[in-house]
């Protein structure tokens, strides 16, 4: 009987070891870190904090301003602009920043300016200039550029931006704060031309 007992033990070991290896080799889903940074004046979910999610997990998010009067949230996922409401598919570590759209420049940072690029009626690029927005409100104030021109700016309920120059003929730049682009015109050029911009900081 003894040889049979050892034979059964050997057969059992041969069967058990592959099963053990099979179980231990089952891949686990990677985990990633997502950090949400929510600025003052914005409410929504997820709240500020650092969370761990499984790979390909979908995170629903939604944000609105606490005071909806003419203010809007802007969201950046790892530095890229995203919509204010949606689902974030996790496949990497992410930093999600949510804040109110504020085009004003940080006057303490000399490099924080908007580079405005106007185009002529043929679509050709004109000389760019750097402009600073200032003011006590995120909806209106004054501006000045590196050419010595200055004026006032306002934002409407529909996110429309109007820049009116005081000392450059009657130049006006009209656009959208979501894209910071639009059209412009002055009295000596009756047609409307386009402009784009990018923030330099």
CATH number of 158's domain: 2.40.128
Contact 185, 195 (CB under 8 A): no
Give yes or no: residues 170 and 136 share one domain.
yes
Confidence of residue 26 (pLDDT cuts 50, 70, 90): low
pLDDT at 138: 86
Give yes or no: residues 117 and 168 share one domain.
yes
Give yes or no: residues 129 and 174 share one domain.
yes
Is residue 13 one of the residues assigned to a domain? no
pTM score above 0.85: no
Give yes or no: residues 145 and 181 share one domain.
yes
pLDDT at 17: 46
Residue 3 has pLDDT above 70, yes or no: no
Give yes or no: residues 122 and 183 share one domain.
yes
pLDDT, greater one: 146 or 101: 146
Give yes or no: residues 133 and 158 share one domain.
yes
Mean pLDDT of the 189-200 span: 86
Is residue 129 one of the residues assigned to a domain? yes
Is residue 108 one of the residues assigned to a domain? no
Give yes or no: residues 124 and 196 share one domain.
yes
Is residue 180 one of the residues assigned to a domain? yes
Is residue 17 one of the residues assigned to a domain? no
13-27, 98-112, 187-201: least confidently modelled range: 13-27
Domain end (from 78, 100, 122): 100
Domain with 177, as residue range(s), is 113-200
For the segment 85-141, what is each residue's pLDDT rounded down to a tens digit? 899 999 999 999 998 888 998 766 777 899 999 998 888 899 999 999 999 888 899
Confidence of residue 38 (pLDDT cuts 50, 70, 90): very high
Domain end (from 100, 123, 147): 100
Is residue 162 one of the residues assigned to a domain? yes
Give yes or no: residues 42 and 81 share one domain.
yes
Is residue 41 one of the residues assigned to a domain? yes
Domain end (from 100, 123, 141): 100
Is residue 122 one of the residues assigned to a domain? yes
Contact 143, 154 (CB under 8 A): no
pLDDT at 192: 78
Confidence of residue 25 (pLDDT cuts 50, 70, 90): low
Tell me the two tokens of residue 75.
């969201």
Confidence of residue 48 (pLDDT cuts 50, 70, 90): very high
Count how many domains the chain has.
2
Give yes or no: residues 117 and 67 share one domain.
no
Give yes or no: residues 132 and 73 share one domain.
no
b (16+ CB within 10 A) / e for 149-182: bbbebebeeeeebbbebeeeeebbbebebeebbb
Residue 1 has pLDDT above 60, yes or no: no
């Amino acid at each position: 009987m003894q040889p049979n007992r050892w034979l059964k033990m050997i057969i059992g070991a041969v069967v058990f070891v592959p099963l053990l290896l099979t179980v231990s080799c089952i891949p686990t889903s990677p985990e990633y870190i997502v950090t949400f940074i929510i600025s003052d004046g914005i409410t929504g979910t997820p709240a500020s904090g650092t969370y761990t999610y499984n790979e390909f997990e979908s995170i629903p998010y939604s944000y609105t301003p606490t005071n909806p009067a003419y203010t809007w949230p802007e969201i950046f996922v790892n530095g890229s602009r995203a919509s204010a409401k949606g689902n974030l598919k996790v496949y990497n570590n992410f930093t999600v920043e949510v804040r109110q759209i504020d085009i004003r420049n940080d006057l303490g940072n000399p490099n924080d300016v908007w580079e405005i690029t106007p185009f002529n009626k043929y679509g050709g690029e004109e000389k760019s200039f750097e402009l600073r927005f200032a003011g006590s409100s995120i909806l209106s104030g004054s501006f000045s550029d590196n050419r010595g021109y200055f004026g006032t700016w306002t934002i409407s309920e529909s996110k429309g931006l109007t820049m009116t120059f005081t000392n450059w003929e009657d130049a006006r730049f009209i656009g959208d704060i979501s894209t910071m682009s639009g059209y412009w015109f002055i009295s000596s050029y009756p047609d409307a031309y386009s402009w784009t911009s990018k923030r330099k900081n």
